[in-house]
Amino acid sequence: MGLNRRQLLRGSLAVGAAALPVGALAAPAYGVVHKPRAQARRAGFNLALLDVANGIITNHHTGDIHTNTKGEKEFGNPWATFRTGKDGAVGWDPLELKVRTLDNGKGEKAFLICGGDSTEGHVTIHRNSDGAPLGWVSGLTNFPHSLEYVPEHEVIIVVGPRGLGQYDPPPRGESEPGGCYEMYAAPTGGSVGPLKKIPIADKDRAFWKAHGVVWDRDKKLVWIYGGNKLRSYKVIGKGEGARLERANIEIVSDLFKNGHDLQPDPLEPEYLWATSSTEILQINKAGGYAFIQWSIPAKSVKSFARDRSGSAAWTADTLGNKYGDDKVRFMWYPDMTGPVTVPAVSGETTKPKVIYKARLLDI
């Protein structure tokens, strides 16, 4: 499908809009590698790059991208770093990061991270201003790939592609089972500690190959995405008494083959952005139903996120490892016509970088 002209123009002309940083990405028990430097207001935006090979997340500003001695575009040094491993060791795979404002009467921003491996998943939540831990949980069995905070209902929803295949079997022709969501009471009441799991019947929380989850503030719906479908849910109740109930909007499509990432559009909130193994897809959800408005071919794309300026950043796997490479690609961003390399930084990486997702921090 062709590019929407209005969309393309908005993405190109609004790039000069300044972005406001949201603070330090600090580590919980393991500490930051270095303190973040002060961020002046300037054009571009901040990205968190999730490196699964080294168990590390690094914060960068697109204004620091430069041309190296080889004539290639590359990121500058990170302005803050988060490790999942202790004492510099490689820890668990960081598979998602989101910045959200907690509904705790203070308007505090927090960063939420999930990931792990095929045997144990982790979620950790920290206050954005100083990195203080607010909530955490380990031992998840659904291999968490994404999470979301629902402020009005004070819950955290965590989705992953494993765990409950018997309740949501794969479509004909697919052999890999599994996938579900889990829910936890959000740490918004002033207490700090392990997150409290909300019990949900397995048949209700099963979702084949669940990979993405988004809270739709306009429609007051939760969208879960993965495999070959996008499904909406209503949130009933609050905190430990909350649950999800299927709403009446769902898309099942072959274009979603191996549905991977799902993100909101901060510039045009009537859209969602999704990725499959071969496409970046724009989903129109403005009316009483949702539909795929147009798509962009993108081989082995992993993540896609559009900034409020109109520019977008995306990652892909060119190495055949299912997670990514050492590049970030840009769309609707002047002078970013090719992939931008994420160089290894001495003392921060032990293996070649594998960037699974590039996430917006200016939310």
Give the model confidence (pLDDT) of 2-42 as tens digits. 333 333 223 222 222 222 222 333 334 343 444 445 555 67
**Do residues 189 and 197 make contact, with C-beta atoms less than 8 angstroms apart?**
no
Mean of pLDDT values over 205-224? 97
pLDDT tens digits for range 50-95: 999 999 999 999 999 999 999 999 999 999 999 998 877 889 999 9
Q: What is the pTM of this model?
A: 0.89
Coil, strand or helix at 84 = coil
Measured CA to CA, the distance from residue 112 to residue 194 in angstroms comes to: 14
pLDDT tens digits for range 339-350: 999 999 877 888
- Lowest mean per-residue pLDDT among 22-31, 185-194, 293-302, 353-362: 22-31
Q: Please report where in the chains the tokens 């960037």 appear, as a residue.
A: 355
**Do residues 32 and 78 make contact, with C-beta atoms less than 8 angstroms apart?**
no
Encoding tokens for residue 245?
Answer: 């109930």
Q: What is the pLDDT of residue 118?
A: 76
Name residues whose C-beta falls within 8 Å of residue 69's C-beta, 6 or more positions apart in sequence.
none
- Lowest mean per-residue pLDDT among 44-48, 170-174, 246-250: 170-174
Q: What is the pLDDT of residue 40?
A: 55
Q: Please report where in the chains the tokens 């609050």 appear, as a residue.
A: 238
Q: Which domains does the chain have, with CATH numbers?
A: 5-360 (2.120.10.30)
Mean of pLDDT values over 202-214? 96
Please name the helix (run of DSSP H) or strand (run of DSSP E) that holds residue 204, with its range, or none: helix 202-205
Name residues whose C-beta falls within 8 Å of residue 110's C-beta, 6 or more positions apart in sequence.
99, 100, 101, 102, 125, 126, 127, 128, 134, 149
Encoding tokens for residue 353?
Answer: 């970088």
Other beta carbons within 10 angstroms of residue 274's beta carbon come to 29
Q: What is the number of H-type helices and E-type strands within the chain? A: 2, 29
